[in-house]
Structure 1
Amino acid sequence: MLYLCLKYIHIIAAVFLFGFGMGSYLYLIAASRTANPLVIAHVARMVVRFDAWITTPAGFIQVATGYGLTRLAAMPLTTEWVLTSLIIFLCVGSLWLPVLVLQKRLYVMASSAVETGAGLADDYRCVYRKWFWMGVAGFLGMFVIVLLMVTKMTPGQWADLLV
């Protein structure tokens, strides 16, 4: 029963991590495309909050429940698909703090433009591009992690199936 409860929490945390993360990402992209500092500032403020209060804790819950699941199943962390998932998760996680910092910078830049009545600073596009591409890399990693969790196979094993 404990295993099933942990698995349920693990899956719900994955839904929150992926769902809120993707939602925040897409909303900030849409807001930025308007080039309207007021819209961007409002959306970026909410994105920063949701990522700090929901998405980040979901990531920690993922790690804790994943570890608990491997212990209860007597599965070594060196099991190929688990280790591959952990490595990708750490890579995606290493993008997370910079993404949070960049989101906060986008918010501050847009808020400053609203306060001064000026347009967005020239630096906004540069910061936005970094944030955007880090998001692309992060979500590609998350797609692979979900595939690993569902199939319990590594990318090498998938390739073997295709050949």
Structure 2
Amino acid sequence: MTYLFLKYLHIIAAIFLFGFGMGSYLYLIAASRTANPQVIAHVARMVVRFDAWITTPAGFIQIITGYLLTRLMGLPLTTEWVLTSLVIFLCVGSLWLPVLVLQTRMQRMALAAADSGMMLGEAYRAVYRKWFWMGVAGFSGMFVIVLMMVMKMTPWQFMGMLG
């Protein structure tokens, strides 16, 4: 029963982590494409809040439940797919704080532009580009982690099965 409950929490946390993260990412991309500082400021403020209040705690729940599940299953953390997923998770996680900082900076820049009646310039676009590509890297890693969780193997082991 404990195993099933932890597995349920692990899956729900993955859904929140991936779902809210991807939703926030796509909303801020859409808002940025309007080039309207008021829209961008409003959406960025919500994105920062959701990422801080929902997505970040879901990441911690993932770590805790994942660790407890490996203990219950008697799986060493050095099992290749477990270790690989942990390394990728830590890499994705290392992007998280910079992403939050960039999102906050984007929100402040948009708010300042809206308050002054100005348009957003190259400085905003430069921050946006960094944020965008960090998101691409982070979500690519998350897709690979989900593959490993489902298949219980590394991507190269999976590709070897196909060949």
> Could you tell me the TM-score, scaled by structure 2's length?
0.99
Q: Letter of the aligned partner of 1:29 in structure 2? A: I
Question: What amino acid is the match of 2:92?
Answer: V
After superposition, where does 1:112-131 map in structure 2 within 5 Å? 112-131=112-131
Report deviation, 1:74.
Answer: 0.9
| Structure 2 residue matching 1:94: 3-state secondary structure | helix
- What is the deviation of 1:130? 0.2
- Corresponding letter in the other structure for 1:114: A
Question: What is the correspondence of 1:81-92 to structure 2 with a 5 Å cutoff?
Answer: 81-92=81-92
List gaps (5 residues or longer) in structure 2. Answer: none
Report the Cα distance in structure 2 between the residues aligned to 1:89 and 1:54, rounded to whole angstroms. 17
**Residue 28 (structure 1) aligned with residue 43 (structure 2):** no
> 1:95–1:134: 8 Å Cα contact kept in structure 2?
yes
Letter aligned with residue 68 of structure 1: L
Moved over 3 A (4+): none
Matched, 1:49 2:45: no
TM-superposed deviation, 1:118: 1.0
Aligned to 1:11: 11
Which letter maps to 1:57?
Answer: P
1:97 aligned to 2:97? yes
- Please report the TM-score for the alignment, with normalisation by the length of structure 1: 0.99
Q: Percent identity?
A: 78
* Structure 1 Cα separation of the partners of residues 162 and 3 of structure 2: 33
What is residue 138 of structure 2 aligned with on the other side?
Answer: 138
Count of aligned pairs: 163
Deviations 1:55-85 (A, max 9, x none): 0000000000000000111110001110010
What amino acid sits opposite 1:113 in the alignment? A
Deviations 1:87-122 (A, max 9, x none): 000000011110000000000000000111111132
Instruction: State how far apart, in whole Å, the 1-side matches of 2:79 and 2:88 are.
Output: 14
1:111 matched to which residue of 2?
111
Rounded Cα–Cα distance in structure 2 between residues aligned with 1:145 and 1:124 = 31
Paired with 2:36 and 2:148, the residues of 1 have a C-alpha distance of 40
In 2: Cα distance, 1:13 partner to 1:154 partner: 21
